[in-house]
Structure 1
Amino acid sequence: MSIARALGNAVSGLTATARGTETVAANLANASTPGYARRDLAITAQTAGGNAGGVRIDGVTRAINASVLSESRLAEAARADAATRLDFATRIEEAIGIAGNAGSLGNALSDFRTALSSAASRPDDTIRLMQVADKADALADRLNAVSDAVQTARTAADQAIAGDVATLNKSLAQVAELNRKIAILESDGTDPSSLYDQRQGIISEIAKIVPVQEVTRAAGAVALFTAEGAVLLDGTMPTELSFDAAGQVTAGQAVGSGLSLLTQNGQELTSSQMRLYGGGSLSAHFAIRDDLAPRMQASLDDLALDLHDRLADPAVDPTLTAASTGLFTDGGARAALADKTGLAGRIAVNDAVVEAAGGESWRLRAGLEAATAGAVGDSSLLIAMSDGLDRAMTAIPGTGFSGKGSLADRLATVETRIATVRVAAQSDAAIRNSQADTIFARLTADGVDSDAEMQRLLQYEQAYAANARVIQAIQTMMDKILEI
C-alpha cells in the first residue's frame, strides 16, 4: 500500500469517527426528547481498483421500529378514548353523589322523607310544614344540579370536538409542510432526520385524537389515514375538517336538532360515516355528547317524572284532579311523559306551598288546592305523601324503569346505572393504559440506551486513536525520507 493511500484511509477513518461521535452526542442529548429516534452512522468500506480504500459515510439513519410505532399510536388513541369516557362518568357520579353523603341526591331524598314524617307527627307545627317545603325544594335543586352537570358535560364535549378539529387541521397542515421540506432536503442530499423527528411527534399527537395509519410515499413523504380508512393526508393538500359548535347544549338538542357532526371537505358526514373517525378522543367526545350523556339525562328525567307523578296523584291528595299540578311541577305546570326530556333540570316545588313565593305551608296538610286550612291536627295528607314515596308502584310506561318499586328503588336504579358506566369506563381505561404502557416500553427499548452509546463512544475513541497513530507513523516515515 502506498503512503498516499494509507494516509487517505486514515483520514477517511478520522472523518467517520468524528461523524460517529456527533451522532452519539446527539443521541445522549436527546435521550428524553419525545419523538426522537436514535441515530446510527451508516458506513461501508471503499475500494479502489480492488484494494482497500478506507471507509465511506453513507449517511445517518434513524433507528425506528415502524410496526411498534404504529401499534403505539393505536394504543394511545385507545387510551385517550378511554380516559375521556372515564373522566365524564366520574364527574357525573360525583354530581349525583354517594347515598348517605351530604350533598348527594340520595341524601336529599332521605331528608325530604324525614321531613314528611316529622310534619306528620305534628301537622299543626308551621315550622315543620315549612321544613317539608324546604326539603322538597332541596330535592328538586339536587335533581336540577345533576341535570345541569350532564348538560355541562355535553357542552364541554361539544367544545372539545371543536378544539380537536382545530388541532387536527393545524397538525395535518404541519405534516404536509414537513413532507415538502423533507423532500427538498432528500433531493439535496442533506440529512433531514430532525424533520423526521418533528413529523413523528406531530403524527403521534394526531393519533390521540383519531387513530392514524402512516404510509410511506416517495421522497420521504408520508400519507395519513384513519384506522377505519378515511384519508387525512395523501399528497400536498390535507383533508379539511370543520365542525359547528353549538355553544350551550341543552337537554332537547340532538344531532340534526341543534347539534352537528363533522364536515369533511365541505361535505357533512352521516352518523354511519362518523365511524371512520372512531377510536380516539374525538369519537369519545361525540359519544359523550350524543349517547352517554343523553342516556344519563333520560334516567334522571324518568326519576323526576316518577317523583312528580307520585305526589300529583289524586289518590294521594284528594284536592287534586288529573290536570292539577302536584307538589312538584314542570316549571310551574304539570309534567307529562311526552315532554319529559330535560324534566330533571326543570322540576321545581309548587309555589302554592312556598311562603316566600306567596304560597301557604298549610296546603301540605290540607291539600294543594284546598279552599281552607282545615283541621290543624289532620296528618292524613302528609302520611299519604310519605306512603306514596315508599309505595312499590308499577313503572310508568315509556320510561326506562321496569317492574314495581318505590322512589328510593328508582333512585337506586339510576345510581347503579351511573356507577356501572363508571366502573366499565374505569376497567376499560386500566386495560388501555396497560396496553399503551407495554407497547411504549417496547418502543423505548429501541430508543437511546445511554450505556450502549457510551460503549460506542469508547469504540470511536479507539478508532480515532488508531487512525491518528497511522497518520503519525506516516509523518515519521515522511520525515525520514526527507532526511535522506
Structure 2
Amino acid sequence: MSIARALGNALSGLTTTARGTEMVAANIANASTPGYARRDLVVSPQTVGGNAGGVRIDGVSRAVNASILSELRSAESARAEAATRLTFAAEIENAIGIAGNAGSLGSALNDFRAALGSAASRPDDEVRLTHAVDKARVLARQFNTISDKVQAARSAADQAIADDVATLNVSLTQVADLNRKITALEADGSDPSSLYDQRQGIISEIAKIVPVQEVMRPAGAVALFTAEGAVLLDGTVPTDFSFAAAGQITPDQTIGAPLALLTQNGIDLSSPQMRLYGGGRLAANFAIRDELAPAAQSLVDDLAMDLHDRLTDPAVDPTLAAGMAGLFTDAGAFADPANKAGLAGRLGVNSALVISEGGDAWRLRSGIGAATPGAVGDSSLLIALSNAMDTAQAAPSATGFSGTATLIGRLGAVESQISTARVNAQSAATVRNSQADTIATRFLADGVNSDAEMQKLLQYEQAYAANARVIQAIQTMMDQILEI
C-alpha cells in the first residue's frame, strides 16, 4: 500500500469518527426530546481499484420501530379520549355533590325537608315558615346551578371541538409542507432526519385529536388516514375541516341548528359519517356535547319534575286548581311535561310565598291559592307537603324514572347513575393510561440508550486514536525520507 493511500484511508477514518462522535452527542442531548429518533451512522468499506480505500459514509439512519410507534399513537388517542370523558364525569359528580356533604343537592333537599318539619311543629311561627321558604329557594337554586354547570360543560366541549379542528388544519398543513421539504432533501442526498423528527412529533399530536394511520409514500413523504379510513392527507393538499362553534348552549339545543358537526372540504358530515373520526379527544368532546351532557341534564330535569309534581298536586294542596303553579314552578308557571328539557335550570319558588317579591310566607301553611291566612295552628298542609316527598309514588310521566320511590329514593338513583358514570370513566382512563405507558416504555427502549451511546463513543475514540497513529507513523516515515 502506498503512503498516499494509507494517508487517505486514515483521513477517511478520522472523518467518520468525527461524524460519529457528533451523532452520539446529538443522541444523548436529545434523549428526552419528544419525536426525536436515535441516529445511527451508516458506513461501508470504500474500495479503489479493487483495494481497500478507507471508509465511506453512506448516510444517517433513524432508528424508529414503525409498528410500536403506530401502537403508541393509537394508545395516546385512546388516553386523550378517556381523559376528556373522565374530566366531564368528575365535573358533573362534583356539581351534584356527595350525599350528606354541604353544598350537595342531597344536603339542600334534606335541609328543606327539615325546615318543613320544623314549620309543621309550629305553624303559627312566621319565622319558621319564612325559613322553610328560604330553604325551598336554596334547593331550587341548587338545581339551577347543576343545570348551568351541565350546559357550561356542553359549551366548553363545543369550543374545544373548534380549537381541535383549528389545530388539526394547521398540523395537516405542516405535515404537507414537511413532506415537500423531505422529498427535496432526499432528492439531493441531504440528511432530512431533523424534518422527520418534526413531522413525527406533529403526527403524534394529531393522533390525540383523532386516531391516525401513517402510510409511507415515495421519497420520504407520508399519507395520513383516520383509524376508520377517512383521508386526512394523501398528496400535497390536506383535507380541510371546518366547524362552527355554537357559543352558549341551552338544554333544548340538539344536533342541527345551531349545533353543527364537522364540515369536510366544504361538505357537512352526517352523524353516521362522523364515525370515521371516532376515538380521540375530538370524538370525546362531540360525545359530551351531544350525548353525555344531555343525558345528565335529563336526569336532573326528571328529578326536578318529580319534586314539582309532588308539591303541585291538588290532593296535597287543595287550594290549587289543575294547571296552577304550586310551591315549585317552571320560571313562575306550571311545569309542562312536554317542555321538561332544562326544567332544572328554570326551577324556582312561587313568588306568592316570597316576601321580597310581594308574597306571604303564611301561604305555605294555608295554601298557595288561599284567600286568607286561615287558622294559624293548622299544620295539615305542611305535613302533607312533607309526606308527599317521603311517600313512595309512581314515576311521573315523561321522565326516565320507573317504579315507585320517595323523592330521596329518586335522588339516590340519580346520584348512583352519576357516580357510576364517573367510576366507569375513571376505570377506562386508568386502563388507557396503563396501556399508553406500557407502549411508551417499549417505544423508549428502542430510543436513545445512554450506556450504549457511551460505548459507541469509546469505540469512536479508539478508532480515532488508531487512525491518528497511522498518520503519525506516515509523518515519521516522511521525515526520515526527507532526511536521507
- TM-score under structure 1 normalisation? 0.99
Report the Cα distance in structure 2 between the residues aligned to 1:480 and 1:323, rounded to whole angstroms: 120
SS at match of 1:59: strand
The whole-number CA distance in structure 2 between the counterparts of 1:151 and 1:242 is 23
2:272 is the alignment partner of 1:272? yes
Per-residue CA deviation, residues 368-427 of structure 1 (Å, 9 max, x unaligned), is: 001111000000000000000011001123311110001101111111111011000000
* 2:441 corresponds to: 441
- 2:349 aligns with 349
Question: In the TM superposition, what whole-angstrom CA distance separates every residue of 1:82-106 from its partner, at most 9, and x where no partner exists?
Answer: 0000000001100111111111000
The 3-state SS of whatever aligns with 2:315 is coil
Determine the structure 2 residue equivalent to 1:475.
Answer: 475
1:172 aligned residue: 172
1:126 CA displacement: 0.3
1:57-97 CA distances to partner (integer Å, 9 max, x unpaired)? 00111111111111100000000000000000001100111
**1:273-352 aligned within 5 A:** 273-352=273-352
CA contact (8 A) 2:338 2:398 kept: no
* Residue aligning to 2:147: 147
Q: What is the CA deviation profile of residues 172-216 of structure 1, one whole-angstrom value per residue up to 9, with x for unaligned ones?
A: 111111111111111121111111111111111111101111111
Three-state SS of the structure 2 residue aligned to 1:140 is: helix
The within-5 A match list for 1:212-223 is 212-223=212-223
CA contact (8 A) 2:309 2:396 kept: no
Separation of aligned partners in 1, 2:246 and 2:326: 35
- Report the counterpart of residue 130 of structure 1 in structure 2: 130
2:78 and 2:279 in contact (8 A); partners too: yes
* Deviations 1:21-79 (CA, angstroms, capped at 9, x unpaired): 01001111111111111110000111223221111100111111111111100000000
1:481 offset after TM fit, Å? 2.3
Structure 2 counterparts to residues 31-430 of structure 1, below 5 A: 31-430=31-430
Q: Distance in 1 between matches of 2:353 and 2:17?
A: 91
Cα distance in 1 for residues equivalent to 2:365 and 2:394 = 26
Deviation per CA, 1:95-150, whole angstroms, max 9, x where unpaired? 11111111100000000000000000000000000011100000000000001000
Cα distance in 2 between the residues matched to 1:481 and 1:216: 58
Instruction: Give the AA of the match of 1:133.
Output: V
Q: How many angstroms apart in 2 are the aligned matches of 1:226 and 1:406?
A: 49
**Deviation of the 1:7 alpha carbon:** 1.4
Q: What residue in structure 1 maps to residue 4 of structure 2?
A: 4
| More off after superposition, 1-10 vs 337-346 | 1-10
Distance in 1 between residues matched to 2:30 and 2:296, nearest whole Å: 47
For residues 147 and 420 of structure 1, the distance between their equivalents in structure 2, rounded to whole angstroms, comes to 19
Gaps of 5+ in 1: none
Deviation at 1:4, TM superposition (A): 1.8
Q: Give the counterpart letter for 1:358 in structure 2.
A: G
Query: Distance in 2 between the 1:333 and 1:124 partners?
Result: 28
Moved more, 174-183 or 105-114: 174-183
Instruction: Please give the secondary structure, in 2, of the residue aligned with 1:54.
Output: strand
Identity %: 73
The letter of the residue matching 2:173 is: A
Runs of 4+ in 1 over 3 A off after TM superposition: none
* CA distance in structure 2 between the partners assigned to 1:51 and 1:389 by the alignment: 100
1:455 maps onto 2:455 in alignment = yes
In the alignment, the residues of structure 2 paired with residue 75 and residue 46 of structure 1 have an alpha-carbon distance, to the nearest angstrom, of 45
Counterpart-to-counterpart distance in 2, 1:455 and 1:437: 28
Deviation at 1:483, TM superposition (A): 2.5
Q: Give the Cα separation in 1 of the matches to 2:165 and 2:190.
A: 34
Q: CA deviation at 1:227?
A: 0.6
TM-score by length of 2: 0.99
The alignment yields a C-alpha RMSD, in angstroms, of 0.8
Tell me the distance in 2 between the aligned counterparts of 1:197 and 1:127: 73
- Aligned-pair distance for 1:460? 0.2
Inter-partner Cα distance in structure 1 for 2:450 and 2:109: 62
Q: CA deviation at 1:358?
A: 0.5
Give the Cα separation in 2 of the matches to 1:9 and 1:391: 98
The 3-state SS of whatever aligns with 1:39 is strand
**Residue 9 of structure 1, CA deviation:** 1.1
SS of residue matched to 1:420: helix
Q: Count how many residue pairs are aligned between Structure 1 and Structure 2.
A: 484
Name which of structure 1's ranges 53-62 and 375-384 shifts more when overlaid on structure 2.
53-62
Aligned to 2:20: 20
Deviation, structure 1 residue 480: 2.1
